[in-house]
Amino acid sequence: MGNMKQKGDGIIAVNKEAGHRYEILERYEAGIVLEGSEVKSLRNRQSVSFKDSFVRIKDGEAWLYNLYIAPYKFSTVKPPDPLRTRKLLLHKREIWRLWGKMQEKGYTLIPTKLYFRNGKVKVEIALAKGKKLHDRRRELREKDLRRQLEREFKGKIKL
């Protein structure tokens, strides 16, 4: 039994679009309330989508909306709705701090990563501010320029 694969750690999915559309200010780790078939689906590496997902604080609790977790294909009971609202597990003081920040104009909470930690599914959520269109365009220009410079220097530098 010593060489069994350790069940536990590993990234399930990353929200790549979050970095493009938002300026991330703070990150938090939260537990997530899932049903058994959802956990099995995640362990089997079935599809997860962050498209249009966000976090909202309601009645002193954090809720994750629109996170798609594909239904477990071998489930014997009726699987839960793949886009259902899921409760996030955070400390009360973290929830109140985030709620206070979200009252300011332009701030939002978005999920950035879904992963296993010690056998439990965790969600990394980020306090973020939406980027304006001109900020995104400038960022793309800078990225393009960096690539061109790397290409030019790649052939000239010999180690």
Q: Is residue 145 part of a domain?
A: no
pLDDT of residue 121: 92
Q: Is residue 142 part of a domain?
A: no
Per-residue pLDDT tens listing for the chain (159 residues):
343 344 557 889 899 888 888 889 999 999 999 988 888 888 888 889 999 899 999 998 999 999 999 998 887 778 788 889 999 999 999 999 999 888 888 889 999 999 999 889 999 999 998 888 777 788 888 888 888 888 888 766 555
pLDDT of residue 45: 86
pLDDT of residue 152: 81
pLDDT of residue 156: 67
String of DSSP letters for the chain: -TTSPPPS-EEEEE-THHHHHEEEEEEEEEEE---HHHHHHHHTT--EE-TT-EEEEETTEEEEES-EEPPPTT-SSPPPPTT--EEEE--HHHHHHHHHHHTSTTEEEEEEEEEEETTEEEEEEEEEEEPPHHHHHHHHHHHHHHHHHHHHHHHH---
Q: Is residue 17 part of a domain?
A: yes
pLDDT of residue 159: 52
Q: Is residue 156 part of a domain?
A: no
Q: Is residue 85 part of a domain?
A: yes
Q: Is residue 101 part of a domain?
A: yes
Q: Range of 114's domain? A: 10-131
Nearest-angstrom CA–CA distance, 154 and 159:
11
pLDDT of residue 55: 92
Q: Is residue 25 part of a domain?
A: yes
Number of domains making up the chain: 1
Mention every residue, 6+ apart, whose C-beta is less than 8 A from residue 24: 18, 112, 126, 127, 128
pLDDT of residue 88: 94
Q: Is residue 44 part of a domain?
A: yes
Report the CATH number that the domain containing residue 96 is assigned in CATH. Answer: 2.40.280.10
